Amino acid sequence: MPRPIYATIYPAAVAHNLSAAKQASAQSGANVWATIKANAYGHGIERIFSGLREADGLAMLDFAEAALVRSLGWQKPILMLEGCFSAEDYALAQALDLTVVVHHQAQIEWLLQAQLTQKINVYLKMNSGMNRVGFAPSRYQAAFDALKSAEQVESITLMTHFANADLPDGVAKPLQIFNQTTAKIMADFPQTQRSCSNSAAILQHPDAHFDWVRPGIMTYGGTPIGASSAASFGLMPAMSLHAQLIAIQELQAGDAVGYGSRFVATQSMRIGVVACGYADGYPRHAPDGTPVMVDGVVTRLVGRVSMDMLMVDLSPVAHAAVGSAVELWGAQIAIDDVASAAGTIGYELMCALAPRVPVNVAL
């Protein structure tokens, strides 16, 4: 039989979570870009595609992924979040009918040189404090003017990205910068659209919703706000990871578990060995106490995670045996709880699911 580990992807959960994003931004009437970069945060674009139907557009980075969703039949807008990486990419953007982000001067120069037969839509990105990509506020108007006069450009949407939208006051300063910088543009061209909100801003900063929101992690049932659970926002996990017990050990006080003998039993106890390790995408640095569910009972990880196995305390699961079902994350064990215990974020665990893990798609 195959090694007893598998992941399940739930397109219906993706659809549900996008509906939650729409509801959260309904008052502003914002359209929704479903962000599917990094192969849909590790879930697989093709696997979740049926759950994306109600999105108003798809946002991604890779031109190959844009070609993929077009081949799957997607006819609505596609937004390339990092824009073009060379002058030649603009011809590809035209061929695939893509909207491209423009965030530095070279991209404007490439666009002005492009021999296009049709105009394309662009998003002009402002650096409002993240300091990754985007035009400084002092250069934003000039960039807008250059694009506005370009014969290759159909429409311009104003855009920024928040570094701290998960904090209660995390968008106040960057939103002020964005609004002040774009005030003249909005006065001169009041129909110009704007896009600022990621998942956290969608859920707690309605003043930043504007015309298009860009849900990322919430699309997959993860929380963008560390102090709040995804379930508290009505979100559903789009991925679960399951395995089975493949062995059981009886320990006595003083017996150690796993490499480095990190965990030492203080009394007699049963330890279950799970067919999952860091080569499957489980975080190697997960500490003792990380939640795991065995046969419907929440217990804890003990000992260091190895390449192919991890160990759990069976003290609260007296009936557990070889073959008992294990949930590493999913409907009962929130991926964010596992990530938090391991000192990381749910995004990383989603993206880290290893190719060797069999994946089912729930219909």
Q: What is the secondary structure of 199-254 as a DSSP string?
A: HHHHHH-GGG--SEE---GGGGT--SSTTS-TGGGT---SEEEEEEEEEEEEE-TT
pLDDT of residue 42: 98
> Would you say 292 and 315 are in contact if contact means Cβ atoms under 8 Å apart?
no
Residue 230 lies in a domain: no
Mark whether 119 is an active-site residue: no
Q: Which of 76, 119, 184, 259 is catalytic?
A: 259
Residues 168, 21 within the same domain: yes
- Residues 67, 142 within the same domain: yes
- The pLDDT of residue 1 is 80
The answer, yes or no, to whether residue 110 has pLDDT greater than 90, is yes
- Residues 210 and 306 occupy one common structural domain: no
pLDDT tens by residue, 146-176: 999 999 999 999 999 999 999 999 999 999 9
Active site residue 259: yes
Residue type (1 letter), 122: V
* CB contact burial 212-249 (16+ within 10 A = b; e otherwise): bbbbbbbbbbbbbbeeeebeebebbbbbbbbbbbbeee
CATH of the domain at 247: 2.40.37.10
Is 194 strand, coil or helix?
Answer: strand
Last residue of a domain, one of 223, 252, 279: 223
**306 falls within a domain:** yes
Annotated catalytic residue, options 22, 37, 140, 220: 37
Give a yes or no: residue 6 inside a domain. no
Would you say residue 147 lies in a domain? Answer: yes
Q: Is the pLDDT of residue 224 over 90?
A: yes
Whole-number pLDDT of residue 9? 98
Single out the residue in 155, 189, 223 at which a domain terminates: 223
Whether residues 109 and 211 fall in one domain: yes
Residue 256, beta-bridge partner list: 264
When pLDDT is cut at 50, 70 and 90, the band that residue 226 belongs to is: confident
| DSSP 8-state code for residue 135 | B
Question: Which of these three, 223, 257, 291, is where a domain ends?
Answer: 223
- pLDDT at position 227, please? 83
| pLDDT band per the 50, 70, 90 thresholds, residue 121 | very high
Q: Identify the domain containing residue 124 by its residue range.
A: 11-223
Alpha helices of the chain — where are they, by DSSP H? 11-24, 37-41, 45-48, 63-71, 89-95, 105-113, 137-148, 172-188, 199-204, 335-341, 346-352
79 lies in the same domain as 175: yes
Residue 120 located in a structural domain: yes
Question: Which tokens go with 355?
Answer: 């190719």
- Average pLDDT across the chain, whole number: 97
Total domains in the chain come to 2
**CA 109 to each of CA 89, 105, 146, 185: distance values in angstroms, whole numbers, following the listed order:** 13, 6, 9, 21
| 134 & 249 share domain | no
Provide the CATH number for the domain around residue 126: 3.20.20.10
- Tens of pLDDT, residues 298-355: 999 999 999 999 999 999 999 999 999 999 999 999 999 999 999 999 999 999 999 9
Residue 273, domain member (yes or no) = yes
Q: For residues 275 and 255, give the distance between their C-alpha atoms in angstroms, rounded to a whole number.
A: 21
Name the pLDDT band for 207 (thresholds 50, 70, 90).
very high
| 23-52 residue pLDDT tens | 999 999 999 999 999 999 999 999 999 999
- d(C-alpha 221, C-alpha 236), whole Å: 5
User: 83 — alpha (psi -120 to 50), left (phi > 0) or beta?
Assistant: left
